[in-house]
């Protein structure tokens, strides 16, 4: 496109807008050597607004990442990382795929917050939804089949609603470049196209549609699947490259990834999960079945700065839990259950303390280690929530014109409190 524009016009100004610019350190080796970086194509940058700025300004969310080891090393091998064992045979082994699907299904409700409800376009929905990114069409096919297999004994209303989408991309196996998958399914090999047709028939049966892999209907399938992701009607979509760049859905909070990613490809894929929706969604959730820690740190350094890791990524579990434990201890000491909270000052302190605990619980809930380590008993938590909600109702109802309302400088976490109440029920 750049070449076509510059050839067609004698006078022109080119402006480039990108969230993941190409620098020399993450540029590819193909194509025109004079147009490999964003600066080569568009000239010197006019302004920079990085992911660090966006998170600081609360325009997007930070990420939380789980690295899940999926290959057991032979005895005596202690120094190699799973990312170094990069053979197709090992990564596509049925036992490995079965274990990853088992982990995904076991932890899906936790990662996507299915215990919690919120309002979306006038209706109540539970939790968020997810993408499952795979390294190849063959891997996508195997994961889709295994997801169906491991759910077949469940009652229909207990099964996740799963979709899959892929098409031909000439560079699908290149790790650092998410090649655009177009809508041309004719270039797929026969077995892959037949598989996709069968999967789309599953989708048609689920939603009463009539799509297939023919050119027009496949584009409409893509559009329909996009809308159902955005409206939280589908739970999990298996992809290769589609939806990993340029697709925004506020209801999507989790990316399961069995795919090598790096640089701009990694940042684009992760960023599908961090669009702001409500106070329940406080971060983008990444579950990586490959060791991408160094690639993640490198990408953050490129697109933020070398010190950005503490802003872009959430802290370790222990950091949040220690603060949570300290605040709960303070709550029990200062406001024992059943104690009447008298006076505006005490009410403000109580509201701020319980609000902080609610926010910490909201973050800790997605950590596997938090299950069973809640400090407050169910009865204590319910008592505190009752007082919190009573204060909310009381302070919202105050209309005394002679007195400054005490809720000018406090924040109620009412959306979060509702989620907890639903969970208790």
- Domain limits of the chain? 2-42, 58-312, 317-424
Q: Is the pTM of this model over 0.85?
A: no
Residue 88 has pLDDT above 60, yes or no: yes
Tell me the backbone φ, ψ of residue 115, rounded to 5 degrees: -75, -10
Q: Pick the more confident residue, 247 or 86.
A: 247
Rounded to an integer, what distance in angstroms lies between the CA atom of residue 404 and that of residue 342?
A: 17
CA dist list (Å): 414 to 116, 394, 408, 425 = 13, 14, 16, 16
Q: Pick the more confident residue, 65 or 181.
A: 65
Residue 355 has pLDDT above 70, yes or no: yes
Q: What value does the mean pLDDT take over residues 21-46?
A: 65
Q: In this predicted model, what pLDDT tens digit does every residue of 92-125 receive, in sequence order?
A: 888 899 999 999 999 999 999 998 888 898 889 9
Residue 379 has pLDDT above 60, yes or no: yes
The fold of 317-424 is: Methane Monooxygenase Hydroxylase; Chain G, domain 1 (1.20.58)
When the pLDDT of each residue in the chain is averaged and rounded to a whole number, the result is 80
pLDDT for res 28: 57
Q: What value does the mean pLDDT take over residues 171-192?
A: 66
Residue 421 confidence class, pLDDT cut points 50, 70, 90? very low
Q: What value does the mean pLDDT take over residues 315-329?
A: 92
pLDDT for res 117: 87
CATH dotted code for 58-312:
3.40.50.300
The pair of structure tokens assigned to 41 is 């194509």
Rounded to an integer, what distance in angstroms lies between the CA atom of residue 230 and that of residue 251?
A: 6
Rounded to an integer, what distance in angstroms lies between the CA atom of residue 124 and that of residue 207?
A: 19
- For residue 161, what is the DSSP state? -
Rounded to an integer, what distance in angstroms lies between the CA atom of residue 139 and that of residue 154?
A: 24
Q: Positive or negative CA dihedral for 376, 379, 383, 386? A: positive
């Amino acid at each position: 496109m750049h070449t076509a524009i510059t050839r067609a016009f004698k006078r022109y100004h080119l402006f480039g807008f990108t969230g993941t610019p190409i620098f020399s350190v993450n540029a590819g080796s193909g194509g025109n050597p004079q147009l490999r970086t964003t600066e080569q194509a568009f000239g010197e940058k006019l302004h920079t607004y990085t992911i660090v700025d966006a998170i600081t300004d609360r325009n997007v969310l930070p990420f939380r990442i789980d690295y899940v080891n999926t290959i057991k090393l032979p005895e005596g091998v202690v120094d190699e990382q799973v990312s170094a064992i990069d053979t197709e045979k090992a990564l596509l082994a049925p036992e490995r795929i079965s274990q990853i699907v088992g982990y995904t299904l076991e932890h899906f409700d936790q990662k996507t917050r299915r215990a919690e409800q919120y309002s979306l376009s006038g209706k109540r929905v539970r939790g968020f939804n997810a993408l499952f990114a795979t390294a190849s069409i063959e891997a996508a096919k195997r994961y889709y089949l295994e997801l169906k297999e491991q759910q077949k004994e469940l009652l229909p209303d207990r099964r996740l609603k799963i979709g899959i989408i892929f098409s031909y991309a000439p560079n699908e196996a290149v790790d650092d470049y998410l090649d655009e998958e177009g809508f041309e399914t004719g270039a797929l090999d026969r077995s892959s196209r037949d598989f996709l047709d069968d999967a789309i028939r599953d989708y048609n049966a689920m939603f009463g549609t009539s799509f297939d892999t023919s050119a027009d209907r496949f584009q409409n399938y893509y559009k329909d699947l996009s809308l159902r992701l955005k409206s939280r009607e589908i739970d999990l979509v298996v992809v290769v490259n589609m939806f990993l760049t340029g697709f925004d859905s506020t209801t999507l909070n989790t990316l399961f990834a069995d795919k090598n990613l790096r640089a701009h490809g990694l940042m684009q894929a992760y960023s599908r999960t961090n669009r702001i929706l409500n106070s329940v969604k406080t971060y983008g959730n990444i579950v990586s079945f490959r060791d991408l820690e160094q690639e993640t740190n490198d990408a953050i350094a490129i697109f933020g700065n070398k010190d950005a890791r503490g802003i872009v990524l959430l802290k370790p579990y222990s950091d949040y839990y220690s603060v949570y434990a300290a605040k709960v201890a303070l709550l029990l000491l200062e406001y024992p259950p059943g104690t009447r909270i008298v006076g505006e000052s005490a009410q403000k302190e109580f509201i701020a303390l319980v609000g902080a605990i609610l926010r910490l619980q909201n973050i800790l809930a997605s950590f596997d280690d938090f299950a069973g380590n809640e400090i407050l008993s169910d009865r204590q938590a319910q008592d505190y929530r009752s007082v919190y909600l009573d204060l909310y109702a009381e302070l919202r109802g105050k209309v005394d014109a002679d007195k400054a309302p005490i809720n000018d400088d406090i924040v109620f976490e009412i959306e979060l409190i509702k989620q907890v109440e639903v969970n208790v029920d």
